[in-house]
Amino acid sequence: MTLKNRIFLEALKRNNNEANIPVWLLRQAGRYLPEYMKIRSEYSDFFQMIKKPDVCKELTLQPLRRYPLDAAITFTDILTIPDAMGVPVEFIAGKGPVFADSIEKNHLLKLNPDGALKKLEYVFEATALIKANIDVPLIGFTGSPWTLFVYLFYGESPKSHDELNSYLGLHSQKAHSYLEQLTEIIQDYVQAQIAAGADCIQIFDSWGGLLDEKYEELSLTYINQIASSIETNIPVILYTRDKLIDDIVNLTSIKCFNLDTSDNIDNHIDKDITIQGNFDPKNFHADNEVLQEMAQTVWTKYKDKQNYVFNLGSGLTPDVNPEKVEYFLNQLSSFRS
């Protein structure tokens, strides 16, 4: 299907010459949408659901039907890779992802790369199916090696990082071995998404904020390896949660950044990089008059910026009313030429 507009891709290249602000949202498909919950209720296991390409296509398209969006993002999960490498994961209500094993419990935990890419074929099939059914650019994505390592270490979302710091101090070489293995499979994973139709790649370094002085060594080095393996015509976006991008921009060739809510767009919008994100999804709890004012402010400040994409600083949560999101995005869209 032919792209109806390219302003999102042009903004990623810092070359959006139209007085239009491209829009997409973190977790624009998901639990806050009743149509998503209807489908989710048909599956006892999240991974059973996302391993069905036709279902992923439908979930990806749901927000595009509701909102004036300028990009789609393949509906899948960053934990597909550990699952494909022989460490199964289950999503448990109220707890999140729980792995069958963990490095913390089992220092001999092995990742099996053999056949992993084949096991991920459902992601590539979904990517191709989505691409054939949309007229906006498609975002493929992956978790960073560090973020996947953190999940594998704890076997679930971390609640503290004392144990992790201890392990890194005692087993630094082993940690790097895991990170290298994850980097290799991620490089193949994103290339296969691109081959299936992804127009750009977003790397989610969701646990990057756990690192301070070792961020470059344990996370950014491996992210840079992934980015350098991607063709130069495919934009790469980096989202590092709980870390200001001032600490990152001069250490990477990546030129597109998704800011979390702790950073400030105006500190970076005049740099030779693309900025998206930063808008707090909690803002969608405001009344319509406030939302209209927020939309007007965003439009006034950024409509002439060639390197800006409207997005969120964190994903939409189940307590967000989709009608509020719709009202805000319709207001923002109404200013377009």
Q: Which residue has the higher pLDDT, 178 or 91?
A: 178
Q: What is the mean pLDDT of the chain?
A: 95
Helix (DSSP H) and strand (DSSP E) numbers for the chain: 14, 9
Residue 311 inside a domain? The answer is no
- Enter the pTM of the model: 0.97
Q: Write out pLDDT tens, residues 198-248.
A: 999 999 999 999 999 999 999 999 999 999 999 999 999 999 999 999 989
Instruction: Tell me whether residue 13 is in a domain.
Output: no
The answer to the question of residue 199 being in a domain is yes
Distance linking the first and last C-alpha atoms of the chain: 24
3-class DSSP state of 23: strand
- pLDDT bin (cut points 50, 70, 90) of residue 98 is very high
pLDDT in the model for residue 96 = 84
Instruction: Please report, for residues 3, 12, 225, 301, the alpha-carbon distance to residue 112 in angstroms, rounded to integers and kept in the order given.
Output: 38, 35, 21, 49
User: Which among 6, 3, 2 has a CA at the least distance from the CA of 309?
Assistant: 6
For residue range 134-154, what is the model confidence (pLDDT) as tens digits? Answer: 999 999 999 999 999 999 999
**Residue 105 near residue 155 (C-beta atoms within 8 A):** yes
pLDDT at res. 150: 97
Range 29-51 average pLDDT: 96
Residue 19: is its pLDDT beyond 90?
no
261 lies in some domain: no
**Structural domain for 152, as ranges:** 19-254
Q: Extract the tokens encoding 177.
A: 């071995």
- What is the band of 131 on the pLDDT scale with cuts at 50, 70, 90? very high
What is the arithmetic mean of pLDDT over 73-94?
94
Q: Is residue 12 part of a domain?
A: no
What pairs with residue 238 in β-bridges?
203, 257
Q: Would residue 220 count as lying in a domain?
A: yes
Confidence grade of residue 48 (pLDDT, cut at 50, 70, 90): very high
Contacts of 288 (CB under 8 A, 6+ apart): 324, 327
Provide the token pair at 106.
Answer: 């089992």
CATH of the domain at 144: 3.20.20.210
304 occurs within a structural domain = no
* Structural domain includes residue 177: yes
Confirm if 234 and 269 have CB atoms less than 8 A apart: no
Q: What is the pLDDT of residues 102-113, one digit of tens each?
A: 999 999 999 999
DSSP string, 107-132: TT-----TTHHHHTHHHHHHHHHHHT
Q: How many domains does the chain have?
A: 1
pLDDT band at residue 287 using 50, 70 and 90 as cut-offs:
very high
pLDDT band at 337 (very low <50, low <70, confident <90, very high): low
pLDDT range class, residue 1, cuts 50, 70, 90: low
Give, in order, the Cα–Cα distances in Å from 70 to each of 48, 301, 329. Answer: 29, 19, 11
